[in-house]
């Protein structure tokens, strides 16, 4: 009798908790997710329509100019070329330093109008020696290349770029190109970008597109390609065409030195120093141009550990920057209210905050909770998890047609990653611990290069040792495994007691969480 009485009391207590706390909170979360989903849907639909119009205009323009020469910029007199500085920031880039320096030194530009600056913050003395020797080798061929090494890493990449611009030998440079160590531009990179800056003194930045040389390395790189193709094909295109503003990608871009100085130069107050500079320059009235037809070869992180660190930085930094610049943007009087609204609402709030939070809340918390608590007590509008999501997914997939068949993997993978991105976003908004954590993304040297045998042997030996250490010290990812267990429980519960067949999605999502949690994503 006592056991029955206790069970009855427990059930009564649960019913009280269910109807006074759980159900109202879950319904509120559903309405909140619906509102955020519609915000994201409206923004994506608007950008999709703009890109369609741009594509049609481009086709008409290309048709009308088919028989006209468009290589005037390539045939300019060398005497008219401005002084250009190329900055290559590095940190222990053993695998890629040679190809990056070689690509920069191979740019088609008058030798007396080009300065290559290798900003090496390496802490490994052996790597420093290799990079310095490579610079001396190119200097011996007549290239104006300078090797710079700091005694400390103050400010990380932003600090290195800032210090590089202070050197006396760059005072005459009118433009500066930034190329990360894993980026390899074509020889005509400057010939396609610098003339755009020369033609319009109001343009501060020309950003080129990234082309991924290792996209086919594993399924992790294929999924990254899908996300980044959307960023370049849609977000950057729309920002450039409609607002003259988009986020500088930190590399593969050419800046007007005067505009960079006018915006306050490089700052290291967040982990997205490139975005910080872009927003400040935009608020000073400068315009940006995105050159989709200029592509620079680059690498994608192929290990999940490197990818996680990168995504933490890319999610935490923008949220932290929004916190720091919100009132500064609101009070700005140099740009229109329309541009300020675009930067604060579309660029920061919707793309950098809402996109991460709604994905995690809806697909990893609300839908599983609905499977447990739902029924007649909670209403989940079908357009939220199905129709809106389907349109968003199709808009993203349209940018990478060759990977459409991978959507079945991409969707649950992005949902699992939203947990890390949401956590990083909240850390950035609150400026909590890890808000300023900077971890350099590991590069594995995926370029086709002719590295000398001695250097290759040394690299191979060190890479083997590193791999052995990584394998012996590898560990499971507890957050993903816990998420997988929770989703699996919700799926089984819905399979037995539910009526909406949510278990089909929940089983797939739990499997994705387990695959990632047990380390079966990325290069092994």
| pLDDT at site 422 | 97
Return the HEC string of 215-229: CCCCHHHHHHHHHHH
pLDDT at residue 322 in the model: 97
Sign of the CA dihedral with 141 first, then 159, 310, and 320 last: negative
Q: From residue 318, how far is each of 156, 282, 325, 427, 430 by CA, in Å?
A: 17, 15, 10, 11, 12
Q: Is 83 helix (H, G, I), strand (E, B) or coil?
A: coil
Average pLDDT over residues 469-492: 82
pLDDT at 449 over 80: no
| CATH no. for 82-302 | 3.90.550.10
pLDDT digits (tens, 9 = 90+) for 261-285: 999 999 999 999 999 999 999 999 9
pTM of the predicted protein model:
0.88
Catalytic residue among 120, 229, 268, 274: 274
Is 182 among the catalytic positions?
no
Is 121 tagged catalytic? yes
- Domain parsing of the chain, residue ranges: 22-55+303-439+474-523, 82-302
When pLDDT is cut at 50, 70 and 90, the band that residue 95 belongs to is confident
121, 180, 268, 494: the catalytic one is 121
CA atoms within 13 A on the CB side of 419: 20
Q: Does pLDDT of 252 surpass 50?
A: yes
DSSP 8-state symbol, 203: E
Confidence of residue 432 (pLDDT cuts 50, 70, 90): confident
Pair 170, 82: CB distance under 8 Å: no
Q: Give the model's pLDDT for residue 76.
A: 59
pLDDT score recorded for residue 12: 86
Give the three-state DSSP class for 70: coil
Which of 177-207 are b and which e, b meaning 16 or more Cβ less than 10 Å from the residue's Cβ? bbbbbbbbbbeebbbbbbbbbbeeeebbbbb
Cβ neighbours for 377, distance < 8 A, ≥ 6 positions apart: 18, 19, 23
pLDDT score, position 473: 43
Tens digit of each residue's pLDDT (9 = 90 or more) over 493-505: 999 988 888 999 9
């Amino acid at each position: 009798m006592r056991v029955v009485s206790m069970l009855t009391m427990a059930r009564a207590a649960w019913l009280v908790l269910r109807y006074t706390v759980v159900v109202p909170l879950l319904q509120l979360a559903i309405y909140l997710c619906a509102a955020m989903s519609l915000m994201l849907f409206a923004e994506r639909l608007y950008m999709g329509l703009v890109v369609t119009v741009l594509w049609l205009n481009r086709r008409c323009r290309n048709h009308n100019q088919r028989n006209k020469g468009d290589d005037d910029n390539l045939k300019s007199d060398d005497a008219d070329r401005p002084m250009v500085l190329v900055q290559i920031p590095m940190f222990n880039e053993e695998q890629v330093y040679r190809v990056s320096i070689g690509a920069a030194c191979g740019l088609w530009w008058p030798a007396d109008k080009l300065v290559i600056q290798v900003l090496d913050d390496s802490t490994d003395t052996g790597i420093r020696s290799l990079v310095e020797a490579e610079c001396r080798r190119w200097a011996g061929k007549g290239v104006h290349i300078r090797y710079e090494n700091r005694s400390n890493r103050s400010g990380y990449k932003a600090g290195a770029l800032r210090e590089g611009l202070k050197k006396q030998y760059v005072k005459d440079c009118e433009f500066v190109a930034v190329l990360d160590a894993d980026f390899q531009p074509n020889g005509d990179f400057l010939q396609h970008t610098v003339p755009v800056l020369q033609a319009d003194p109001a343009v501060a930045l020309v950003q080129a597109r990234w082309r991924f040389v290792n996209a086919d390395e594993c399924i992790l790189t294929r999924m990254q390609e899908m996300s980044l193709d959307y960023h370049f094909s849609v977000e950057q295109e729309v920002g450039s065409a409609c607002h003259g503003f988009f986020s500088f990608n930190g590399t593969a871009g050419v800046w007007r030195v005067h505009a960079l100085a006018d915006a306050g130069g490089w700052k290291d107050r967040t982990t997205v120093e490139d975005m910080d500079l872009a927003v400040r320059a935009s608020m000073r009235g400068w315009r940006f141009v995105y050159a989709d037809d200029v592509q620079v070869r680059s690498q994608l992180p192929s290990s999940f550990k490197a990818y996680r660190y990168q995504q933490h930085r890319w999610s935490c930094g923008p949220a932290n920057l929004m916190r720091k610049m919100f009132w500064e943007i609101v009070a700005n009087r140099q740009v229109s209210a329309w541009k300020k609204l675009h930067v604060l609402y579309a660029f920061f709030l919707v793309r950098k905050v809402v996109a991460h939070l709604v994905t995690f809340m809806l697909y990893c918390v609300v839908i599983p909770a609905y499977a447990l608590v739902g029924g007649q007590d909670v209403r989940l509008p079908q357009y939220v998890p199905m129709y809106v999501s389907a349109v968003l997914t199709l808009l993203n997939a349209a940018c990478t047609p060759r990977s459409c068949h991978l959507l079945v993997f991409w969707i649950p993978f992005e949902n699992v990653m939203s947990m890390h991105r949401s956590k990083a976003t909240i850390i950035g908004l609150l400026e909590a611990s890890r808000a300023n954590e900077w971890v350099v993304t590991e590069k594995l040297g995926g370029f086709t290069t002719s590295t000398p045998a001695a250097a290759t042997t040394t690299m191979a030996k060190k890479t083997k040792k590193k791999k052995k250490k990584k394998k012996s010290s590898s560990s499971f990812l507890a957050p993903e495994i816990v998420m997988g267990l929770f989703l699996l429980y919700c799926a089984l519960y819905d399979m037995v007691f539910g009526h909406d067949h949510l278990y089909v999605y929940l089983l797939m999502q739990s499997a994705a969480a387990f695959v990632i949690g047990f380390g079966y994503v990325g290069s092994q």
